[in-house]
Each structure stands twice: as structure tokens, then as C-alpha cells.
Structure 1
Amino acid sequence: MYEPNVVGDWQEHDEHAGLRVRVHSLEAAEPPRGRDDAAVGLTYFSVRVTVENRGARHFSVQLEDGQIDVRVGSDGEGAFIDWRNSQFIEGFDVYPLRRATAVIYAAGPEAALTQVDVQVQLRVDEEWTDRRLWAGGIGLLEEPVAAASAAAGPGSLAHQVSVFLKDLEDQTEPGTA
């Protein structure tokens, strides 16, 4: 196992020249075909796994259930993976300068989603690659109201723009020019 990547980073596969993988777009999202009954009380999120071929020949890529493991929270609890709503890469030929993307829908306790680890093991041309790990999180617990009020404080750009526009409006009122 190599050092974990940050969600969004590309990881080259040395054993297959030109092939690289990225786990990205980790975000809160409801599944397209509805929630699974087993996910009651859990918060859904999605993550994308993209395989890109920058090499000179095509690779047959497979990324299905059992090849992706999603863990949440500081204790690394297994997330519920909604296989019915997820879209996998099943024996797809990725030609040079092309990509294939899998979309995984998973769910976990909302408090644990600030730390999400995704481990991927591709099968390329009937051979297993080394496992790779990506680490990230979803900022669901941030307080948007507190952030918005802090962002609109006297020294903020939003406040400066408001003052500028008010001054501009005062200058263009009838009788002030």
C-alpha cells in the first residue's frame, strides 16, 4: 500500500504505463433511484473514480463491487455502499486519451463524513493492480449561517463592495451631482 492520496489527486499505475486513477467529487448527494431501506438514518454521499489512459495502447479496465472500499470516521467504520444506485466500470476498453468513470453512492453517519477514505483496486487486462487509498471528507457539519455572518463583517470583501455600491448610489441620486 502506498501513502494515501488526497481526494482529487491523480495516482499513476507504474505497472501499466500511462494509466492513472483519481478519486474525486466527494459530495453529499441523494441516489438517483431512491434511498435503500438499509440506509435509514444515514447521510448519503457520492464519490467518483476516474480511470484515464495517457499511454499508447488500450487497457481493459474493470472496477466493480468488491474492488472499492469506503470507510468513514476516525475509527474507519465501513460505509454502506448502495450497489443498486452505483455505476461501475465493467470490462471497458479505455483507449489512449480516454477516460472511464464509476460513480459510487454510499451512506454513513453524518458526524463521521468529515473523514472519508476510499480504497480502490483496479483489474486491468485480467491482472489486479496494487490497492490505492484516497483520503478526504465532506464538510456537512459546517455552520453556513456563522460562516456567512463572519464573511460579511466590516473587513470582508462583501462589506467593501456593499459600501462602494452605496457610495455610488448616493453620488447618482438627483440633486447630488
Structure 2
Amino acid sequence: MYEPNVVGDWQECDDEHAGLRVRVHGLEKAEPPRGRDDAAEGLTYFRFRVTVENRTTAHFGIHLEDGQLDVRVGADGEAAFLDWRNSQFIEGFDVYPLRRVTAVLYAAADDASLSQVDIQVQLKVDEDWTDRYLWSGGIDLHESAIGVGARSDTPLDILAAQVTSFLRKEAGPGSTG
């Protein structure tokens, strides 16, 4: 079963890209360095990072532009505005063994939707495409323990309860958590 990553987790690439790993991290509210885009009027800006690490003995040319990212927010998965003017993409950078490269990206969305953010990334490595990988998280979430049968009060609790419910349904009848 395919499971999304949690923002901050590393995702190991498969097959011909084995040894590369990707991470979406640093999800936080932040104003862009070159000023707000007019298209983002009334929206709240946030920033995140995408880091690629090479754990092989060969070097790879990494490419990550705006068309290779999809940022969705809220329960309905509405598209966020990706500010390409303020974002720092990875454009054909050679990542040598045991080295990393990081893109810093700015996006904007309705403030009420930022408790649930999904970021999908598909890298181009040399001339090949990696699989698409998904990270889920939120802004201003505070971790708390969730008891079985407890009422979900925060967005993190709601997301955790949804994931738990989904996994139980996938496991089938008769399985216990």
C-alpha cells in the first residue's frame, strides 16, 4: 500500500535512482524575500524546503522546477499558489556522493486551509524522472496524544484519526490496531 510521507521524513528513491533520497521539510509561515505577488492578495504565504541527498558513489544532475511540484491545502485539496518568482528551484545541479542540494519554495493559500498541506514532488534526475512522492503536514499544528475513541480537537488530531481510520479499513475485518 502506498502511504504518504509526513513532512520532515526522508523518502528513498527506487529502482535506477536507488541511493537518492528526498525530503520535504521546514513547512512554516513566511513572507517571501522579494515581496508579495499580486496574485497572492488576501492569501497567507508559507515556505517549505525540498532537499535531495545523494548516498551513492556516482554524481547525478538534479532538476526541480515549479511544474514538478503540486501543493494542495485544506480538506478538499485545493491548489495553493506557488510563487515561482520568490522560490529558489534546483536547475540542473550536479549532486556528488554524500552531498545535498535544497530548494526553498514559497506558496500562498487561504489561512484557514493551512492546517492540512500536501506537497507532491517528482524529480528529474539526469534525463530520467523519479516516481512521484507525497508529503502531508500542516502549519501551526501542535502534537498531542490521541487516545482511542477520544474526541479530535486539533487539526493534527483530525488528520491522525483519518489516517488511523483509513489504515484500519485497508487492513480488513478482524484486524486490531
| Same topology, TM > 0.5 | yes
State the one-letter code of the partner of 2:76: D
Deviation sequence 1:79-102 (CA, Å, 0-9, x none):
001000000000011000100001
Q: CA, structure 1 residues 123+26, in 2 after alignment: closer, same or farther (shift >3 Å)?
A: same
Alpha-carbon offset, residue 17 of structure 1: 2.1
Q: 2: distance between equivalents of 1:32 and 1:11?
A: 29
Alignment of 1:123-162 (within 5 A): 123-139=124-140
State the one-letter code of the partner of 1:106: A
Contact preservation (8 Å) 2:66, 2:82 = no
Unmatched 5+ residue regions in structure 2? 143-177
Deviation sequence 1:20-68 (CA, Å, 0-9, x none):
0000000000000000011110000001000000111111110011001
Unmatched 5+ residue regions in structure 1? 142-177
Residue 12 (structure 2) pairs with residue 12 (structure 1): yes
Q: What is the total number of aligned residue pairs between the two structures? A: 141
Q: TM-score, normalised by structure 1?
A: 0.77
| Residue 164 of structure 1: aligned partner | none
| Residue 96 of structure 2: aligned partner | 95
Q: 1: distance between equivalents of 2:77 and 2:8?
A: 20
Alpha-carbon offset, residue 2 of structure 1: 3.3
Q: 1: distance between equivalents of 2:132 and 2:23?
A: 13
Alpha-carbon offset, residue 114 of structure 1: 0.2
Contact preservation (8 Å) 1:110, 1:140 = no
Q: 2: distance between equivalents of 1:49 and 1:82?
A: 15
Q: 1: distance between equivalents of 2:8 and 2:34?
A: 26
| Residue 2 of structure 2: aligned partner | 2
Q: 2: distance between equivalents of 1:3 and 1:93?
A: 29
* Percent of residue pairs bearing the same amino acid type: 78
Query: Aligned-residue CA RMSD in angstroms?
Result: 1.4
State the one-letter code of the partner of 2:26: S
| Residue 53 of structure 1: aligned partner | 54
Q: 2: distance between equivalents of 1:140 and 1:84?
A: 28
Deviation sequence 1:74-130 (CA, Å, 0-9, x none):
000000010000000000110001000011100000000000000000001100111
Q: 2: distance between equivalents of 1:9 and 1:91?
A: 24
Q: 1: distance between equivalents of 2:60 and 2:8?
A: 22
